Chains A and B, each alone.
Chain A
Amino acid sequence: MGRKILFVTTDQQRYDALGCNGGTVARTPVLDGLAAAGVRYTRAHPQNVVCMPSRSTMVTGQHVATHGVWMNGVPLPADAPSIADDLRRAGYRTALVGKAHFEPFLDPFLRFAENRMGSRNEHAEWGTAPDGTAVPHRGFEHMESATHGAVGPFHYAQWLRAHHPEDVGRFFQVLDRALEVSALPGGDTGAPQVKRNEIARERYHTDWVADRTIAWMDSLGAHEDWFCWMSFPDPHHPWDPPAGELGRVDWRTLDLPAGYPEDRAERERILDAKPRHWRGWYDGSFVSNYEAPAQWVPATLTADQVREVNAMAHIENELVDEAIGRVLAHAASRGWAEDLDVVYTTDHGEMQGDFGLLFKGPYHVDALMRLPLLWRPAPSAGVASAVVDAPVGLVALAATFAEIAGLARPAYTESPRLPISADDARTLGHERVLTEWDSVLFGKVVGLRTIHRDGWTCTAYLPGTVHDGTEGELYDTVEDPLQRHNRWDDPSVRAHRDALLDDLRAHLPAEAGPRRPCDAPV
C-alpha cells in the first residue's frame, strides 16, 4: 500500500488568505495545521494568472509556452500529458471533483469532454491512447464538476436544478444577456458581483465538492492507492457565499487591506508609475481580460466596497477550510491518515482591492502571483516540517505527485518536484519562477513575461496595443512588499534588471508550436 494524494485547490485565492501566511481575518485552522506539520512555501507563483493556463500547468507540469493554453478559452488538447494518467497507469485510482477548467466553459456545442460529462450526468469519458489502451479523459477515472454557481452543464448545476431548483436563481448571474460579464452591484455597498445568496450552506458548491469527494472516497477499497484533485470554485468572484454565514465577518469592522491606497491621489500616482494599461483599466478605458466586467470602472470602487468584497472572500475561505477538515476527517476514518499526502494551492490570486482594483488581468504583482502553497507529506514518510522561501512554481506539482507515488519524474515535465527544505531547494535548482501572460481579446493585445528570483519581480512587456515593447516593471519585493515603486527605469538597478531579463530569456521555454486559436472567452 502506497501513499495517497489529496490535491486541494481553490480558485483565485490570495497568499494572505490563510492564517499561516499572515492572514488575520479568516480562520483557517485546518490549513494552518497542515502548514505546521508540513512544508509551507512563501514564494509560490503560477505560470499564468488566469484559470485555464494555470490549471493546464498543474496537470501537465509544463510552462504555458509548452502546453499552449496561452489564455482562457484555448482548450488543453485532450491528448496533452497528464500526471493523473501517469498515476492511474501506476495503479492509482484517480478523480477530479469540482472545478476542472482545462477546456472552455462557454460551449453550447458541447465540444469538450468536461462539459459533455456534466450534461449527460456521466463521470468519465474514455478514449484510446496511442498505444491502443483505453484511457479516461485526462487520466481521471471519475470527474464531477462544479463552477461558480448553478450555471453551465456541470454536475453541481445539474444536481441543484434537479433537487433544489429554488436555489438556482439565488446565485449572482455572472453573464448578462449579451454574454458580457456582469458588474451588477449588490450587497450592502453596491460592490460589483456581490450578492446576498439565501442558499443553505450544505447546498453551496463548497460543501458539495467536499460531499462528493467523500462519496468518491467511499467507493474505494481501504487498500487502494488514490489521487484525488478536490477543486473548490471559491473564493473566485462572484462573491455570494451562503447568507447564513455572513455573520462570520462583518465588513464594517474590517481594516482596509494593506494593498489598498485609500487616498485617491496616492493610488493614481502609484498606477501612473506602472505601464499604461494599469491606469487604463482603472479608468475603464482598457479592459483586456474578459472576466473583468467591461462595464465596471475600478476608479469608482469605494473603501467600503473593498471591505465588503474582502469580507465575502474571508467567509468563503473559512468555508473551504472547514470543508477540507471534513474530508481529512473522513480520510482518517478510512484508516488513511498516516499515508495521506495533502497538497494545497490555488490557480492564481485576486486583486481584492490592491491598487484600487478588483478581479485579475495582465498585472504581475503579488496580489495575483504570490499563492498559498502547502505540502503536508504523509506522516509515514517522516518528512520534517519546514518553511521554504525559495521561488517555486505550480509547474513543480506534477513532478511532486510522481515523487509521492514513487514514480520517476515524467519526461514531459519542466520542473523538478517541490523542495522539502531550503537545502533541498538549492539541490533541485529552485532559483527562479517564471510567469507568462498573453491575451488577444477584441483587438486588444497584451503580452508579459515575468521572472521572480532573489526577491525581485521583473516583468518585460511585449509589443501590443498599448505597449511598444520597452515598458516593464521591476520590484524589490523585500523592500517594497506592496510593489508600489516601479524601478524599471531606475539607473541604479539597471544592471540587475538586465541580468534578470537575461535569466528570464535563458530559462523560459520557446513556444512549442503555432499558437492555437481561442475557442471561447472563458
Chain B
Amino acid sequence: MRRHVRIARDADTVWGLVGALERQHEWFPTASTRMEGTTRWVTLDSGLTFEERIVTHDHALRRYQYRIVGNPGISEHLSTVDVLDDGDGGCTVVYSIDMVPDVLAMVIGGAAGEGLATLKHRFETEGAGR
C-alpha cells in the first residue's frame, strides 16, 4: 500500500515535522505518540496502542522506517516514509506500508492518506513552519 502527497513547501521544512517522530500525532490521525530511544508507542483514538521499532531515521535521506512489533495480529510490517525534494521548492511525501495481514495495510494506508492530507493543509493553507 502506498500513498503520497505533493506539498508546495521545501523538503527540509516538511521533514522538520515528519522527521520529528515524537510529533506524529500532529499530522497522523492518532491520539498520542511517545518515544523512548528507538521505540515508539502510538495510541489511536480507539485506545489501541501500537508499539513500533524505528529501524531507519535518516535526516540526510529524509527517510524513516518503522516496524510494528509485539502485536500478535500482525506477523510482518514495515512502513517507510520519505520526503522527496521535487527540485522546484516543493516536495513529495510518500508513505509505504508492507504488512501481513495485508487487509490491515489498507486500513493504515487510509489513515496515512488522511495524515498526508493534513500535512498538505498544514503547510499550504495554514502556512505552518516546522
B111 close to A73 (CB less than 8 A):
no
8 A Cβ contacts from A169-195 to B = 177-180
Q: Which residues of A contact B103 (CB under 8 A)?
A: 106, 178-180, 290, 521
Asked if B19 is at the interface (CB within 8 A of a chain A CB), the reply is no
B110 close to A520 (CB less than 8 A):
yes
A519 close to B73 (CB less than 8 A):
no
Given A517-B109, A519-B106, A519-B110; A109-B30 close (CB under 8 Å): yes
Asked if A111 is at the interface (CB within 8 A of a chain B CB), the reply is yes
Given A180-B103, A442-B102, A521-B103; A108-B44 close (CB under 8 Å): yes
* Measured CA separation A519–B29 after assembly (Å): 13
* Measured CA separation A187–B110 after assembly (Å): 37
* Measured CA separation A111–B102 after assembly (Å): 19
A110 close to B106 (CB less than 8 A):
no
A153 close to B46 (CB less than 8 A):
yes
Asked if A107 is at the interface (CB within 8 A of a chain B CB), the reply is yes
Closest beta carbon of chain B to A514's beta carbon, Å? 13
Q: Which of A73, A109, A179, A517 contacts B44 (CB 8 A)?
A: A109
B107 close to A178 (CB less than 8 A):
no
8 A Cβ contacts from B107-130 to A = 107, 109-111, 113-114
B110 close to A119 (CB less than 8 A):
no
Mark B25-39 against chain A: 1 for CB-CB distance below 8 A, else 0: 000011000000000
- Name B104's closest neighbour in chain A (CB-CB): A179
Asked if B88 is at the interface (CB within 8 A of a chain A CB), the reply is no
Mark A95-114 against chain B: 1 for CB-CB distance below 8 A, else 0: 00000000010111111000
- Name B114's closest neighbour in chain A (CB-CB): A111
Q: Which of B29, B48, B72, B104 contacts A111 (CB 8 A)?
A: B29
A517 close to B113 (CB less than 8 A):
yes
* Measured CA separation A290–B45 after assembly (Å): 26
The SS class assigned to the A binding surface is loop
Q: Which of A177, A442, A519 contacts B107 (CB 8 A)?
A: A519
Q: Which residues of A contact B73 (CB under 8 A)?
A: 177-179
A517 close to B110 (CB less than 8 A):
yes
Asked if A116 is at the interface (CB within 8 A of a chain B CB), the reply is yes
Q: Which residues of A contact B106 (CB under 8 A)?
A: 73, 106, 518-521
B110 close to A110 (CB less than 8 A):
no
B46 close to A109 (CB less than 8 A):
yes
A178 close to B44 (CB less than 8 A):
no
Q: Which residues of B contact A110 (CB under 8 A)?
A: 44-46
B101 close to A107 (CB less than 8 A):
no
* Measured CA separation A107–B113 after assembly (Å): 14
* Measured CA separation A521–B106 after assembly (Å): 7
Given A104-B110, A517-B109, A518-B106; A109-B101 close (CB under 8 Å): no
Asked if B57 is at the interface (CB within 8 A of a chain A CB), the reply is no
Q: Which residues of A contact B30 (CB under 8 A)?
A: 109
- Name A519's closest neighbour in chain B (CB-CB): B110
Q: Which residues of A contact B113 (CB under 8 A)?
A: 517, 519
Asked if B77 is at the interface (CB within 8 A of a chain A CB), the reply is no
Closest beta carbon of chain B to A177's beta carbon, Å? 6
Asked if B6 is at the interface (CB within 8 A of a chain A CB), the reply is no
Mark A507-522 against chain B: 1 for CB-CB distance below 8 A, else 0: 0000000000111110
- Name B115's closest neighbour in chain A (CB-CB): A109
Q: Which residues of A contact B53 (CB under 8 A)?
A: none
A109 close to B29 (CB less than 8 A):
yes
Closest beta carbon of chain B to A501's beta carbon, Å? 33
B111 close to A111 (CB less than 8 A):
yes
Closest beta carbon of chain B to A180's beta carbon, Å? 7
Q: Which residues of B contact A108 (CB under 8 A)?
A: 44, 46, 48, 107
Q: Which residues of B contact A521 (CB under 8 A)?
A: 103, 106
8 A Cβ contacts from B43-98 to A = 44-46, 48, 72-73
Q: Which residues of B contact A177 (CB under 8 A)?
A: 72-73
* Measured CA separation A73–B105 after assembly (Å): 13
Mark A109-140 against chain B: 1 for CB-CB distance below 8 A, else 0: 11100001001000000000000000000000
Q: Which of B3, B100, B102, B107 contacts A107 (CB 8 A)?
A: B107
Q: Which residues of A contact B110 (CB under 8 A)?
A: 73, 104, 109, 111, 517-520
* Measured CA separation A108–B111 after assembly (Å): 10
Closest beta carbon of chain B to A414's beta carbon, Å? 27
Q: Which residues of B contact A520 (CB under 8 A)?
A: 106-107, 110
* Measured CA separation A111–B113 after assembly (Å): 11
* Measured CA separation A153–B101 after assembly (Å): 21
A106 close to B107 (CB less than 8 A):
yes
Given A179-B101, A180-B101; A109-B107 close (CB under 8 Å): yes
| Nearest 3 pairs of A and B residues by beta carbon | A519-B110, A110-B45, A179-B103
A contact residues vs B (CB 8 Å cutoff): 73, 104, 106-111, 116, 119, 153, 177-180, 290, 442, 517-521
B contact residues vs A (CB 8 Å cutoff): 3, 29-30, 44-46, 48, 72-73, 100-104, 106-107, 109-111, 113-114
8 contacts between A and B (CB under 8 A): A106-B106, A106-B107, A109-B107, A110-B46, A111-B110, A177-B73, A517-B113, A519-B110
- 7 more contacts with CB within 8 A, not counting A519-B111, A521-B106, are A106-B103, A107-B46, A108-B44, A177-B72, A178-B73, A178-B100, A520-B107
